[in-house]
A and B are shown apart, each in its own frame.
Chain A
């Protein structure tokens, strides 16, 4: 158990630790925004900001601020209580720290809380508040047409036109609605309206049977099954104080990196496809399948479903399978390197990537980007490096960064990560630690809070779990990296030709389901 450090209004928690709920420092609602935004000045990063409904009808706000240099998470909370029938409200953080914008819109939408002074207060996912109270923008009406049906930043003028794309797309992708304010071919502003995938997944994570909840965690964003399962398992194991064996940790690391490889390789192929560079698209598309098949070998599912569970992993990698995986990976490595070399040496491909959709490091920091997108803009930020847990405590993966923040940088970061993940896997498969792979975690500690972080291939996934007096799971808050990064895509599109949108979009490749939960 951690207790607050004297004289500090933040509770410091490390990954794998749990804290007593009552030990989280309280901040007055009026001082909350200033208190949280002060962390920005210290070079810290907003990792989570969410509300939790209390039995008395009030809402408790929790802020999780990551100190990447120290590898610690700082937590504080603020209790909003109803008084004389006024809606719940507090001064907004977003005005001081834009990284909070999506979080505060989520809080407003879930509980009808008014973040006073939020510059872009509009729905995030289109659903009713939990108690039916009106959201700041009015009550929820399920009969109203959804796409773009709220005031947003628009450009007017005779020469300006608006292009609407989605929610049904031409490709086999998830639904989302995009509104481009265009002047000729140039995009002046892009409004992204999501929410079509909202399934109400978070309450489902509270199932009494931890196995059932883990299945839900795996489906928050289907292409990051392992990443989300890892964050969820870490949070639950921390609550239980369970120690996971080194072998289980190693297998989790293998699955996580295989997931990263499959998605990075597949996305690089998709980038080739978007610029009509055929050989890259074909070869990388096939190689993605090879990596998925390695995961299939381990657990019988190409996306790594049912592999991770609180307490360890359900499938072991016997020595002969480890040898097989090692030799297949050994054979794949030069192939991947050859195809990616061909792609990155093709000047017509580079001409499309370079200078397209630039995000500066300053912008990245300000809106709190995570994952390869942030690293492409020069932000040193990688959960595997900053919050090492499990197998990453023992093998240090270097953080891959670029500086230009364009499509090229985002592709190049993924290329570097592909190379490093393959080396990491070859090394790990060569000498898997021995030990047990699964031990059921004990009962959860009552009245506690813990979090789990994992670097999915898109960036930081974070699950925060709370228990009640009886030691049952009472509240789980999940965050997909997409929640941070969608705003970055809108920003990157400013001044870019509209014909380059698909390319920019693919270089981010964010999850709709992970955002909408």
Chain B
């Protein structure tokens, strides 16, 4: 990583960090269109963040520093993860062999602190949400890890930016079916990790049915802005992993590639909006099957690529 490269990265990183709320807007507009409504203004997520930042946070007397640390650590973990994941170009700000493990544990760290903050409130609602989050998080992790295994084997690298880089172009040519399975599994992981239908319902007001939302009920003000922004950022990052794996760009594509990536993220957001509009949410006790299905997809993909390598 040269200094020049780092400087060039500044506008790209700024764009990556500014984009997430807009993707949430795309989902909201898609859902509104399906419902025959106009939907909120395009910039509404930004207005919301602006409003929350200006507010004061309210803390319950039963909470400790863990509660305050939760949103900050979660957002920090995601921002760190953002430096490892290529979003608009084929390169990430940082990268080293094995960073994919760091990425997985950064995501886990963020989740752990959100869960601890929820448990810290002592509310039965938040405890319920925390238990659901941990259960489903643990079930989506194998799908993500096995998908990483496929790409690591395919590209012979353990650095994320290379694993989902141009090296996959060849893999799509020789092992297309395996890559399709990986893309499917990553899509399920995306829906689960970013609390979308059919796993969670980000729009519901019913605490008893919530997973993620119920964990953050007690957060307010700037900390709630961190959480809201964090979930949008997570969508952008996991979405990027998915589209980089699904549609690898060759190295020569240049600036046009970045524009294409933005469009692809937009299409992904529309797709998520379509899924949310066209299906109802799964019953809570069916979600493990849904996630097990994603793991099975990844596992089959692993078998397919390994068979190809050995046979």
Contact = CB atoms under 8 A, between A and B. Distances in A.
Interface stretch (B30-38, B138-146, B166-174, B247-255): B30-38
A274 B209 contact: yes
Interface stretch (A89-97, A280-288, A306-314): A280-288
Contact of A279 (B34, B209, B282, B284): B34
Interface stretch (B77-85, B157-165, B200-208): B200-208
Nearest to A353: B280
Interface string A145-176: 00000000000000001111100001100000
A77 to B, nearest CB: 44
A165 B207 contact: yes
A497 interface: yes
Interface in B67-106: none
A501 B285 CA distance: 14
A157 to B, nearest CB: 15
A282 B35 contact: yes
A381 B282 CA distance: 33
B35 A276 contact: no
B201 A276 contact: yes
A171 B206 contact: yes
Given A276-B197, A278-B34, A170 B207 contact: yes
B185 to A, nearest CB: 20
A287 to B, nearest CB: 11
A198 interface: no
A351 interface: yes
B286 interface: yes
B279 A277 contact: yes
Interface string B6-48: 0000000000000000000000000100111100000000000
Given A276-B197, A276-B203, A352 B283 contact: yes
B35 A279 contact: yes
Contacts of B36: 279, 282-283, 286
Interface string A201-240: 0000000000000000000000000000000000000000
Name the interface size band of chain A. Answer: 20 to 34
Nearest to B277: A278
Contacts of A317: none
B128 interface: yes
A197 B198 CA distance: 36
A279 to B, nearest CB: 6
A499 B280 contact: no
B276 interface: yes
A382 to B, nearest CB: 30
Interface residues of B, number: 31
Interface in A253-308: 272-279, 281-283, 286
Contacts of B280: 272, 275-277, 346, 348-349, 351-352
B283 A351 contact: yes
A499 B209 contact: yes
Given A185-B284, A185-B285, A497-B285, A278 B207 contact: no
B205 A170 contact: yes
A498 interface: yes
Interface string B195-220: 00110010111111100000000000
Interface string A392-413: 0000000000000000000000
B60 interface: no
A325 to B, nearest CB: 24
Interface string B278-294: 11111111100000000
B28 to A, nearest CB: 11
Interface in A328-363: 346, 348-349, 351-352, 356
B135 to A, nearest CB: 10
Contact residues of A: prevailing secondary structure: helix
Interface string B116-158: 0000000011011001000000000000000000000000000
Contacts of B284: 185, 497, 499-500
A497 B211 CA distance: 14
A443 interface: no
Nearest to B203: A276
Nearest to A162: B124
A352 B31 contact: no
B35 A278 contact: yes
A43 interface: no
A184 B31 CA distance: 33
Contacts of B35: 278-279, 281-283
B128 A274 contact: no
A502 interface: yes
Contacts of A351: 280, 282-283, 286
A289 to B, nearest CB: 13
Contact of A276 (B128, B208, B281, B285): B281
B124 A164 contact: yes
Among A162, A274, A275, A497, max chain B CB count under 10 A is at A275
A146 to B, nearest CB: 19
A204 to B, nearest CB: 33
A278 B206 contact: no
Contacts of A278: 31, 34-35, 276-277
Among B204, B206, B279, B280, max chain A CB count under 10 A is at B280
A396 B127 CA distance: 52
Given A278-B31, A351-B286, A501 B208 contact: yes
Nearest to A280: B280
Contacts of B207: 165, 170
A184 B128 CA distance: 8
Contacts of B197: 276
Interface of A: 161-165, 170-171, 184-185, 272-279, 281-283, 286, 346, 348-349, 351-352, 356, 497-503
Interface of B: 31, 34-37, 124-125, 127-128, 131, 197-198, 201, 203-209, 276-286
8 contacts: A170-B207, A185-B285, A272-B280, A276-B201, A276-B280, A276-B281, A278-B276, A346-B279
The 5 closest A-B pairs by CB, nearest first: A282-B35, A276-B281, A277-B280, A275-B280, A502-B206
Given A276-B203, A277-B280, 19 more contacts: A161-B124, A161-B127, A162-B124, A272-B280, A276-B201, A276-B276, A277-B281, A278-B34, A348-B281, A349-B280, A351-B280, A351-B283, A352-B282, A498-B208, A499-B283, A500-B284, A501-B208, A502-B206, A503-B209
